Structure 1
Amino acid sequence: MAGVVRRLVMGVVAVVAAGALCVPSAVAADSPGYWYVDDTGVRDAWAQGVTGEGVKVAVVDDQAVSDYPGFAGVKTEYKAEIVHGNSCTADDSYQEIKVQGKRTMTKTDSDRKAGDGGIYTTHGTNMMAFIVGNGQGYDGNPGVLGSAPKASVVFYAKGFPTPGLMEGGIPVPCIDEDKDSLSNSFSIQQAAKAGARIVSMSMSGNSAEIPYLMYAVRHGVIMVTPRGNDPVEGTRDLVGKPETINEFPGQVVVNMVDRDGNIDRSTDVMDGNVVVLSPGVDVLRYGDTGDKEPKVSGGGTSSATAILSGYLALVLSRWPEATGNQVLQSLIRNTKGNDSGEAKLDPEHRRGFGEVDLRRLLEVDPTQYPDINPILQWQVETSEKHEETRGMYTSHADWKDYSYGQTDPFDGDDGEWPISVPKEAELVGQELDRQVKAWKKVEQCRADGGSDCMRYSATNTADEADKSTPLPDTGYTRGGRTYGTLPSWFGWAVGGGVGAAMLVAGGVVLAVVLAKRRRSRGRHGGPGNSGPGVPPVPPVPPMPPMTGRPGVNAPAVPGRLSQGPTVPSPYGGGAYAG
């Protein structure tokens, strides 16, 4: 698309000094619903030729309307990752919802056209438009505006849209010839294989197929997901949930803020897994599938997720040599109001590491940071500091394949179920170990005066690491490697006052409840203190002890997780996130 002049908003274009580069026009500036573009430095980035060009973003959601006017000129692909056969069909029995319009998808034909079944927009259409939308809508009306209009998109349909209001809706699954619904996790892995640098998934759900998601983590793909649009409190610390598709270790879990940086009251609660705050309140969006004219409304954490994904596409466009892990390092170290250069977690666990600051992300070169996913590192190490979650990500070599355990709930946590831990959660700790060791090799290479030292980094050695990592149906033989020893991160993970006496040679595992209990969330919808710094990579001093924690209700055998029932790893479901 470079060098091609396109008319994007109201037929007006903005030509910048970089050449015949077109972005949404200033004609739409200062519109109330576009504040997430006007107030954040997006238009300044466009004026400097930073538009997301060269960055591929994957969106996983219900079907998108491919001929929505706001997608004119956008480079897009529409796919359905069908495991069994070449097509899938809407499940009529699903919650007694009747699908309107298109009922079948194929691997390369997953989109729908405007007006099919009376549907002009969908949740997925909204989310994609927040990333690449040009601001045009139907019948000359303004539309949803994206911040990275020159990024390319590969769209993976999860299911069919629910007719009517999108708030609170659930996509109707598309069932393949083996009666399986489409897998979010598999779509994410395929997006990573297709070259996506960012995966934006504004949906919530329970089941996460760990090896598929670990493929994306291993290859430095930035996964952005929302917290729920509800006042339900989350975990009491940033430990991740290895079997939850939108709280998986290493992901950016997003909450929404308004123009003044305030969290929307519907989601202003303690939630330890929130990583970053992003604009999502009072934005221009469509609220009903039949709408042809958008309105300024709450937006939800879904919108905040897509908006953040657009920002990160700009950052990757600005800093093309940076890995996804390095961009994540910059994201959490350079939030609004944090001038320290180090990540600081809100001790009240409401604001995560703070509100995204796009201007600083575009100014600060992320290649100075380690190629280590800092969210993954924080979650794995923090889980070892709590008796309830200790051992979640260490070796489960003594478990049978596809077995589960559960942690204890955090002490005093009336709203949160125990965390379900599959055997494959050990892959999370192994990946952090790999990333830390790889970065030490980069640093040693540089200290020795070597050149091209980044070839040793975790992202650049991911293809080699793939050879020793299984997919869900290949068991646990991994190239002859031994998993009964402690990973290198463990020594400094337990350094903050938690002893190592709970370790059992060959595998440290889960806490007391064997029955799987998981809370399902609905569609996602809606400021800041700083706490201890992000767990640094040696030789930087280790992460300081966590503060402000309630007392610990230790299980009968502290730090142990007991193996749960042997069950197959399920495919993911999910609801929209707002």
Structure 2
Amino acid sequence: MSSIHWNVKHTVRLLSVLLTASLFGMIGMSPATADGNPGLWYFDDYGVQQAHDEGFTGKGVTIAIIDTPIYSDIPGLDSADITVHEPGYCDISGTPGTRAPATSTDPRASTHGTEMALLIAGNGKGSNPGETTARGVAPGAKINYYATSYREVDFVELSSDINCFRNGEDGQEDSVIEALSQALKDGADIISMSFATGSSPKLEDLVSEALKTGVILVSGTSNDKNRSMGMASFNGVVTMQSETKDSEIYADAKKPDDSITAVGPGVEVLGLDEHWGPKLITGTSPSTAITAGFLALVKSKYPSATGNQIIQSLIKNTGASEHTVYYDPQKYWGYGSMSLNQMLSFDPTNLPDINPLFNKLYGFPKYDDVFDEKISIPTTKETLAPSKETDTSILMLSISLGGILLAGGAVFLIILLNSRRKRARNSLPSTFEKGL
């Protein structure tokens, strides 16, 4: 009797866990990693090589990266199409008003930004014999690069709170505003921003301009357990949380966060050490850059899709299979774990040409302020916007069918889960840890 009770109770609990996993994409696969390097798991587990083999490399798409100075001549970027905007947007130390260069070979200046560029457009070449660097998920994309942060650099005054001096004062926000404005003028389709900054009316106006023209803005949540900050707080911005190879949320940043759009790879991926060699890095910065690259692949396959339709596809096609759009009520997973394969297999051109991310708590700008029209954006985040209220019966039917399908594999998964050993890992902070 007790044995039967145990089986029923734990089977029901397991099915509940598996259903949640199905909805939010928490069951990951672990094939052999590219080039035998565990830091390239994001490349294998998300089917990037398959996308490239099918001809989708981001070609025809322009991605703007706003970050620290870049070492653009690193071997891992020698085949990338990168245009660096010179100079950068911060002052050279001791000469207010004179801008520092956007390129640098000083690892303290440029490791973080170079890592983000490698994750998007890198070829895997190492700086030293026998080494491998990150393989970019969208190597065919055109990259426009803008330098707005100079943390831990000798030629810029250093403060624990200030990343960019301009005329002797904190110029971080002004530098971001100018770089974002230039990126829009230069024709960016997608803008990757792995940093934190303020949210002034000027920046809000610029975000509104980007959203009005259909540019996809991608940011990350902060690398801590407090609230998100900076670009992540704006409506319309794709905000990424970071997950591990084992489909667990990055522990140091795990928090209920209304701004999170989805979860993407960002824990223990290939970055750079102080000698430009390989090093595992962790944070929402990598998940931001990788997501920008994934969206570029979708855009390259469906060039007529608007930025808004691609964002609609992102939140519709999370997890391992098609499901009703649903937002994690606990606010950890957003709309779920992103799926490159699902997005590439789904034509987004029939989806509404409307950015669905205008329902962040206390978020600005408001939809009608950007587009001069009023529409109904569901505040529950349980449906694509705009639409009628969620059909509860359809949702419950989907859940019921999901439970039936999952039940067939319950015995196998019980054995698998019981035998699976937890992989030891260290949470290595990004080199730009006070950003994202």
- TM bucket (normalised to shorter chain) is 0.7 to 0.9
Is the aligned partner of 1:51 residue 2:70?
A: no
How many angstroms apart in 2 are the aligned matches of 1:318 and 1:184? 30
Partners of 2:81 and 2:143 within 8 A in 1: yes
Q: Is the 8 A contact 2:109 2:153 kept in 1?
A: no
Name the residue aligned to 2:137. 147
Counterpart residue type for residue 217 of structure 2? M
Query: What TM-score comes out, normalization by structure 2 length?
Result: 0.74
Residue 286 of structure 2 is aligned to residue 295 of structure 1: no
Is contact 2:309–2:353 with CA below 8 Å preserved after alignment?
Answer: yes
What CA distance in whole angstroms lies between the structure 2 residues aligned with 1:174 and 1:266? 29
Aligned 1:120-269 pairs, distance under 5 A: 121-140=110-129, 141-163=131-153, 172-175=163-166, 182-208=174-200, 209-233=203-227, 244-269=230-255
TM superposition shift of 1:29: 3.5
Distance 2:46 2:171 in 1: 42
Contact 2:66 2:193 in 1 (8 A): yes
Matched residue pairs, number?
A: 358
**Deviations 1:49-96 (Å, cap 9, x if unpaired)?**
1111111100001111111111102111112587xxxx85235699xx
Letter in 2 for 1:577: G
Structure 2 Cα separation of the partners of residues 349 and 159 of structure 1: 30
Runs of 4+ in 1 over 6 A off after TM superposition: 168-171
1:39 aligns with 2:45: yes
Q: Which residue of 2 aligns with 1:563?
A: none
Letter in 2 for 1:49: G
Deviations 1:183-222 (A, max 9, x none): 2133223212211111001001223411111111111111
The residue aligned with 2:344 is 362
8 Å Cα contact 2:34-2:41 kept in structure 1: no
* SS, match of residue 128 in structure 2: helix
Q: Distance between the aligned counterparts of 2:383 and 2:336, measured in 1?
A: 13
CA distance in 1, matches of 2:108, 2:384: 47
* 1:271 match: 257
C-alpha change, 1:544 and 1:227, in structure 2 (3 Å) is farther
Q: Cα deviation per residue 1:510-549 (whole Å; 9 max; x = unaligned)? A: xxxxxxxxxxxxxxxxxxxxx8522533xx423589xxxx
The AA in structure 2 aligned to 1:363 is S
In the alignment, which residue of structure 1 is the partner of 2:92? Answer: 90
Distance of 2:63 and 2:343 partners within structure 1: 18
**Contact 2:240 2:288 (8 Å CA) reproduced:** yes
For 2:321 and 2:160, the matched residues in 1 are separated by 37
1:567 aligned partner: none
Does 2:328 correspond to 1:346?
Answer: yes
Contact 2:84 2:102 in 1 (8 A): yes
Matched, 1:74 2:60: no
Match in the other structure for 2:311: 328
Displacement after TM superposition at 1:171 (Å): 6.8
Percent of residue pairs bearing the same amino acid type: 31
CA distance in 1, matches of 2:268, 2:90: 37
Q: Structure 1 residue 232: deviation in Å?
A: 1.8
Matched, 1:64 2:55: no
Larger radius of gyration: 1
The residue matched to 1:135 in structure 2 has which SS?
strand
Structure 2 unaligned residues grouped into runs of 5+: 1-31, 393-431
Relative to the length of structure 1, the TM-score reads 0.56
Q: Is the 8 A contact 2:69 2:109 kept in 1?
A: no
Which residue in 1 is equivalent to 2:369? 430
Matches within 5 A, 1:507-518: none
CA distance in 2, matches of 1:216, 1:532: 23
Supply the RMSD in Å over aligned alpha carbons: 3.3
Residue pairs, 1:444-459, within 5 angstroms? none
Call closer, same or farther: CA 1:76–1:148 in 2, change over 3 Å: same
Distance of 2:321 and 2:58 partners within structure 1: 25
Q: Does 1:536 align with 2:385?
A: yes
For residues 433 and 542 of structure 1, what CA distance do their matches in structure 2 show?
Answer: 23
Letter in 1 for 2:208: M
State how far apart, in whole Å, the 2-side matches of 1:575 and 1:282 are.
14
Aligned AA for 2:141? A
Q: Distance in 2 between matches of 1:54 and 1:245?
A: 26
CA distance in 2, matches of 1:170, 1:70: 31
Q: Extract unaligned runs of 5+ from structure 1.
A: 1-25, 95-102, 235-240, 384-388, 394-424, 435-487, 497-530, 546-573
Aligned amino acid, residue 164 of structure 2: P
Distance, in Å, in 1 between the alignment partners of 2:253 and 2:296 is 26
Q: SS where residue 184 of structure 2 aligns?
A: helix
Aligned to 1:110: 102
